[in-house]
């Protein structure tokens, strides 16, 4: 493999696929960004689901914990 082969491939690819150049997005992306930010803020992190699953399993296997939990709530 040498530079000549790389240049040949470059020529071939550029003949078939034009470079992007100065393309710009056709719409303002900020409103979508704002939606994504507000969705992200309300999304529950995965580790919270892990904690919830762990607590549920603990209560399922050790139901005697339920009165103790209710007492502390």
Partner 1 sequence: MELLEGFAAGDEEAFESLFRQYQDQVYRWVLRIVRNSAAAEDLTIETFWRVYRAHARFDAKKGNYAGWLRRIATNAALDHLRRTRREVPLPEDLPEEGRTALSAEQAELRQKISAALNELSPKLHVAAVLALIEEEPYERIGEALGISANAVKVRVFRAVRILRKQLADAGVQP
Q: What is the contact surface with partner 1 in residues (CB under 8 A)? A: 1, 5-6, 8-27, 29-30, 32-33, 36-37, 40
65: Cβ contacts below 8 Å, ≥ 6 apart: 58, 59
DSSP conformational letter for 44 = P
- The CB-of-52 to partner 1 minimum distance in angstroms stands at 22
Q: Is 15 or 44 the residue whose CB approaches partner 1 more closely? A: 15
List the one residue out of 44, 42, 64, 41 whose CA is nearest residue 52.
Answer: 44
- The CB-of-37 to partner 1 minimum distance in angstroms stands at 7
């Amino acid at each position: 493999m040498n530079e000549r082969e790389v240049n040949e491939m470059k020529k071939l690819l550029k003949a078939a696929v034009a470079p992007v150049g100065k393309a710009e997005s056709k719409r303002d992306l900020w409103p979508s960004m704002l939606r994504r930010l507000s969705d992200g803020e309300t999304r529950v992190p995965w580790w919270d689901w892990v904690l919830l699953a762990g607590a549920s399993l603990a209560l399922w296997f050790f139901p005697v914990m339920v009165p103790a939990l209710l007492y502390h709530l």
